[in-house]
Amino acid sequence: MIDLQRLRAVLRKELTQLLRDRITLLLIFMMPLLELFFFAYAVNLSVDHIPTAVCDLSLDVRSRDFIDALVASGYFDIAEYAAGEADVIAALDEGRVRAGIVIPPDFAAQVARGQGEVLIILDGSDTYSVQAAYSAATAIAQHHALDLMVEKLRRQGQTFELMPVESSVRVLYNPTLDGLIFIVPALIAMLLQILTVNLTAQSIVREWELGTIEQLLATPIRPLELILGKLLPNLIIAAVALVLIALIGFVGMGVPFRGSVLLFLFLSLLFAISGLGLGLLVSTVAHTQNEAESITSMLMLLSMLLTGFIYPREPMPAIVRLVGDLIPLTYFVRIVRGVVTRGVGLTLVWQDVAALAIYAALAMYLAARFFHLRLD
Amino acid sequence: MDERVTLYARNLVKVFHTRRGEVRAVDGLSLEVHRGETVGLIGPDGAGKTTTVRLILGLLRRTAGESGVLGYDSMRDPFAIRAATGYIAQRFALPPDLTVQENMRFFANVYGVPRHEQRDRIDRLLAFAGLLDFRSRLAGHLSGGMKKKLALACSLVHNPRVLILDEPTLGVDPVSRREFWNLLNDLRAVEGVSILVCTPYMDEAERCQRVALIAEGRLIACDSPAAIRRQVAGELLECRPSDVRRAKALVAELPGVLEVQTYGPSLHIFVDRADERRAAIVAALEAAGIRCRGMRRIIPQMEEAFISLLRRRQEREHA
């Protein structure tokens, strides 16, 4: 059914046009690289060194001990000293600090009585920081209280050898909880999706906008030849871009790659095909390049939020999760974290691979169907 | 079927379903083009010209009726039709970022021209279109007239026996338009190509062997330009009154006046006998305080004939 002379003609036309537009070509390769850098270093999810205002009304050994414990934890940095609770709140209001600590005047005496109380004030407008600060401050206060208790009991002549329960935590795959190891593999997947969807949607919608599509459809070119002729060059570009950003991510940034490179490349190809299919679908809905761009931007936003790329999907309501299921990245984020970070083989990710394959086939089928009917 | 018929439409209907209801873009249109004949599809914007040619090429799904080219049915064998037909879409639409040569080669391959024949044929067509010196220029950088000639050259690369052109000279200067029509005439007379051409220009209609006047998706008349002009009853006077609207209403009531048409500042007045009625019309206008300049007798052109036929048809329908 496919005529090679016609297919080759479309391929050559697409490649000539791609190579002729140098600026677009440069952007195609530069954008993912820039995004890789910015994302990798901006999306840092661990919150520490929270700027803190301290109001120590006690100024004794006990209060200084407590403040030292907070600073030593690494979570709090003392940004300023305040004279009273009102000053601490003012500093929070003005955004100079994210947390405030108020120690009452007779702290040492209170501690001696076993009733020491410190006030910790947090900026609730930044929930990320607050959650981190809240758990850090609580843990530090408890730990500090425990130390004081042990010290007191020792002075009364009692001895302690061991804590009754000790937890020993071992983090697999990412022992230092390095944010890059979490972000980079999924980020590469995301960039690959953006690239494939955008390239395909733009290259087809552009033909509609210029009106060249009618001239093409009036020739003996079959829709399948036209679609293949458009998709294959995009697949080549996506492959080159993938190798480029993967080299920078895994070699340049030193993110460990534990699994099979071959399996990763093969599954990336499948993922790229699903992205091309999604791009084709976008092109059957959008009539202008602007519309296509709006749709792909929306898709990028949803991909960041709903696919497990940054935020875990488990706590999401079922309906929101379902929207995420419509985006190929959802499956591929799990696949890359499995293959790249945990180093597992196909047997452990096959369900997502199967879902992705079905997705790619379905997107292609639907797009080819709608594509055929467009002039009507 | 008649051997000479290369392209036909019979009771062709196309209904578009829009949010505001059904639109009958083509409404029972019948049409034939014979071998070596140029037929002009003439009508105002929205008359259904583009829809008709898209139906014939199988780019749109017809609602009812039949159409075909060279014995192939538009719906059943659209690819056979496209392989034997050259087509220029209304919006000029060759890839602007390919050169003239690359465009030609692309269409040659797409139409399945054997590789060893391509060079000669492309050279011959570029010479024919006067584009030999612009071989390596990007299509997007050509002038409007040259773009149309390139489109024509591309659509001829597979030696089609039928050519379908949708407003091929839209936005082209008069000199280039004439050159373009000379090329078309060569094709028809020398190569025996059948041509169906949509055009809003009445002077181009005059260059066709036959014209099909269509309005609201229906055929109003189909005949040679001379025969169409003869269908207009009476003789034609032209003048430029100082108040066109009032003059038109006044003149229409005068004895011997068959029909009045406005063309911008001019009135075209159809009368039974021009020499007899001229003085009376001028007198009547001046009596009403309307100055009337340049009253003269003119020969009816396609445009007057078209409007006259359209009006007669509407009057018949309302009656």
- In angstroms, rounded to a whole number, what is the distance separating the alpha carbons of residues A372 and A367? 9
Among B residues 94-113, those touching chain A with beta carbons less than 8 Å apart = 94-98, 102, 105-107, 109-112
ipTM of the complex: 0.81
Counting Cα atoms < 13 Å in the Cβ hemisphere of A359 gives: 24
B114 close contact with A: CB closer than 8 A: no
A180 neighbors A255 (Cβ within 8 angstroms): yes
- pLDDT at residue B93 tops 80: no
pLDDT at A46: 64
- What pLDDT was estimated at residue A296? 94
B98-110 exposure pattern, b = at least 16 Cβ within 10 A, e = fewer: bbbbbbbbbbbbb
- Domain of B278, in residue numbers: 233-299
The answer to whether the CB of B312 falls within 8 A of the CB of B234 is: no
CA–CA dist B276, B282 (Å, integer): 12
One domain for residues B159 and B241: no
Query: In terms of domains, do B290 and B197 share one?
Result: no
Alpha-carbon gap, residue A91 to A95, rounded angstroms: 6
CATH of the domain at B182: 3.40.50.300
Question: Given an 8 Å threshold on Cβ–Cβ distance, is B109 in contact with A9?
Answer: yes
Q: Do B61 and A376 touch (CB under 8 A)?
A: yes
Q: Closest Cα to residue A193, out of A272, A256, A305?
A: A272
Out of B87, B92, B97, closest to residue A218 by CB: B87
Q: Of B209, B229, B249, which closes a domain?
A: B229
Residue found by looking up tokens 């003869």 in the block: B230
Taking the mean position of all CA atoms in its chain, how far away is CA A288? 30
Which of B:47-76 have CB within 8 Å of A? 54, 57, 59-61
Q: Which residues in chain A have their CB less than 8 angstroms from residue B150's CB? A: none
Closest CA to A10 of A195, A207, A199: A207
Cβ distance B247 to B265 under 8 Å?
no
Whether A215 sits inside 8 A of B94 (CB atoms) is: yes
Q: A215: distance to nearest CA of chain B, Å?
A: 6
Scanning B262-291 for CB atoms below 8 A from A yields: none
Q: Nearest CA of chain A to the CA of B246: how many Å? A: 45
CB burial class (10 A; 0-12, 13-18, 19+) of residue B287? Answer: exposed
- Taking each helix axis from N to C terminus, what angle separates A179-210 and A261-285, rounded to the nearest 10 degrees? 40
Q: Which sign, positive or negative, has the C-alpha torsion B130, B133, B135, B136?
A: negative
- The whole-angstrom separation of Cα B292 and Cα A207 is 53
HSE value, Cβ hemisphere, 13 Å, CA-based, for A256? 15
Contact B105, A16 (CB under 8 A): no
Give yes or no: residues B225 and B239 share one domain. no
Give the pLDDT band of residue A45 (cuts 50, 70, 90): low
Return the number of CB contacts < 8 Å for A and B: 72
Inter-residue contact B165 to B88 (CB < 8 Å): yes
Give the nearest chain A residue to B53 (CA atoms): A218
CA A180 to chain centre: 10
The predicted model gives A105-122 an average pLDDT of 85
Same domain, B178 and B75: yes
- Per-residue pLDDT tens for B112-160? 999 999 999 999 999 988 999 999 999 999 988 899 889 999 999 999 9
Compute CA distances B51 → B25, B56, B89, B223, whole Å.
7, 9, 11, 21
pLDDT > 90 fraction of chain B, expressed in percent and rounded: 51
pLDDT attached to residue B169: 85
What total of structural domains would you count in chain B? 2
Q: Are residues B220 and B280 in the same domain?
A: no
**What pLDDT does A372 receive?**
64
How large is the average pLDDT for residues A342-347? 89
The pLDDT value recorded for residue A279 is: 94
> Do β-strands B38-42 and B210-215 pair in parallel, antiparallel, or remain unpaired?
parallel
φ, ψ for residue A231 (rounded to 5)? -80, -35
More confident residue, B273 or B1: B273
User: Which chain A residues are closer than 8 Å to B82 by Cβ?
Assistant: 218-220
Residue B1 has pLDDT above 60, yes or no: no
Is residue B33 within 8 A of residue B7, CB to CB? The reply is yes
What mean pLDDT is predicted for residues B302-319?
Answer: 82
Q: Is residue B313 part of a domain?
A: no
Residue A53 DSSP SS3: strand
CA quadruple A314, A317, A322, A326: dihedral sign:
negative
**Cβ-based contacts of A1 with chain B (< 8 Å):** none
Of B85, B89, B102, the CB nearest to A215: B89
Residues B111, B244 within the same domain:
no
> For B174-200, what is the mean pLDDT?
90
- Give the torsion sign (CA, B299, B304, B306, B308): negative
Provide the 3-class DSSP secondary structure of residue B236. strand
* Domains of chain A and any CATH numbers: 9-43+177-372 (no CATH), 50-155 (3.40.1710.10)
- Statement to judge: residues B125 and B107 lie in one domain: yes
Contact B12, B171 (CB under 8 A): no
Please name the residue of chain B whose CA is at the shortest distance from the CA of residue A18: B97
* B91 near A CB under 8 A: yes
What's the CA gap between B227 and B222, in Å, rounded?
Answer: 9
- Closest partner CB to B89 (pick from A3, A218, A222): A218
Q: Which residue has the tokens 């199967």?
A: A354
- In this complex, do B98 and A219 lie within 8 Å of one another by their Cβ atoms? no
A20/B97 Cβ within 8 A: yes
B191 and B73 in one domain?
Answer: yes
A357-376 in b/e form (b: 16+ CB < 10 A) is bebbeebbeebeeebeebee
> Is B6 in contact with B36 (CB distance < 8 Å)?
no
In a domain, B319, yes or no: no
Q: Mean of the pLDDT values across residues A323-340? A: 94
Query: What mean pLDDT comes out for the span A14-33?
Result: 90
A6 vs B61: CB contact, 8 Å cut-off?
A: no
* Cα A243 to Cα A245: distance, rounded to the nearest angstrom: 6
- Residue A257's φ and ψ, nearest 5 degrees, are -120, 105
pLDDT of res. A168: 73
What's the pLDDT band for B97 if we cut at 50, 70, 90?
very high
Instruction: Report how far residue B96's alpha carbon sits from residue B103's, in angstroms, rounded to the nearest whole number.
Output: 9
pLDDT attached to residue A163: 65
CB contact under 8 A, A219 and B109: no
Inside any domain, residue B312: no
Q: Min CA distance, A291 vs chain B (Å)?
A: 21
Pairing of strands A50-56, B38-42: unpaired
Residues of chain A in contact with residue B97, where contact means CB-CB under 8 angstroms, are 16-17, 20-21
* B120 in the same domain as B46: yes
- B96 chain-A contacts, CB cut-off 8 A: 210
Please name every residue paired with B270 in a beta bridge, in sequence order, or none if there are none. B236, B259
Q: What is the band of A130 on the pLDDT scale with cuts at 50, 70, 90?
A: confident
Q: Which pLDDT belongs to residue B318?
A: 79
Structure tokens at A321: 């999760």
Q: Is the pLDDT of residue B31 over 90?
A: yes
Lowest-confidence region among A140-149, A174-183, B55-64: A174-183
Mean pLDDT of chain B: 90
* Residue B284 is assigned to a structural domain of this protein: yes
Q: Which residues of A touch B (CB under 8 A)?
A: 3, 5-6, 8-10, 12-13, 16-17, 20-21, 210-222, 375-376
Angle at B270 between CA B267 and CA B274, to 5 degrees: 105
pLDDT at A169 over 90: no
> How far apart (Å, rounded) are the C-alpha atoms in residues B115 and A225?
19
Shortest CA distance to B83 belongs to which of B149, B195, B162? B162
Looking at the structure, tell me whether residues B96 and B213 fall in a common domain.
yes
Q: Closest by alpha carbon to A308, among A290, A330, A337?
A: A330
CA distance B51 to chain A (A): 10
The rounded distance, in Å, linking the Cα atoms of B30 and A264 is 61
User: Distance between CA B201 and CA B306 in Å, rounded?
Assistant: 12
In a domain, B308, yes or no: no
Q: By CA distance, what is A12's nearest residue in B? A: B106
Going through A106-261 in order, the beta strands assigned E by DSSP cover: 119-122
Q: Report the amino acid identity of residue A216.
A: L
Pick among B110, B155, B157 to test the A interface (most A CBs inside 10 A): B110
Domain boundary among B229, B262, B282: B229
Any A CB within 8 A of B87 CB = yes
CA–CA separation, A145 and A66 (whole Å): 9
On whether both B137 and B191 belong to a single domain, the answer is yes
Q: In what order do the strands lie in the sheet with B266-271?
A: B257-263, B266-271, B235-241, B292-298
What value, to the nearest 5°, has the Cα angle with vertex B22 and ends B16 and B28? 70
CATH number at residue B254: 3.30.70.100
Nearest-by-Cβ selection for B93 from A12, A214, A222: A214
Reported confidence tier of residue B229, pLDDT bands at 50, 70, 90: confident
* Domain presence at residue B315: no
**Does residue A284 have a pLDDT over 70?**
yes
B225 and B238 belong to one structural domain: no
Whether B141 maps to a domain, the answer reads yes
* Residue carrying the six token digits 């390769």: A29
Q: Mean of the pLDDT values across residues B51-71?
A: 94
Q: How confident is the model at residue A376 (pLDDT cuts 50, 70, 90)?
A: low
CA distance B305 to chain A (A): 33
Residues A52-68: tens digit of each pLDDT: 999 999 888 888 888 88
Burial class of A197 by CB neighbour count within 10 A (0 to 12, 13 to 18, 19+): buried
With a CB cutoff of 8 Å and minimum separation 6, the contacts of B137 are B99, B100
Cα B5 vs. chain centroid, distance in angstroms? 19
Min Cα–Cα distance to chain B from A344, Å: 47
Residue type, A271: F
Q: At what angle do helices A346-372 and A223-246 cross, to 10 degrees?
A: 140
- Please give, rounded to a whole number of angstroms, the shortest distance from the CA of A218 to a CA of chain B: 6
The band of A148, judged by pLDDT with boundaries at 50, 70 and 90, is confident
Classify residue B200: in a domain, yes or no.
yes
- Point out the least confidently predicted range of A295-304, B80-89, B210-219, B273-282: B273-282
Crossing angle, helix B144-155 and helix B115-128, to 10 degrees?
Answer: 140
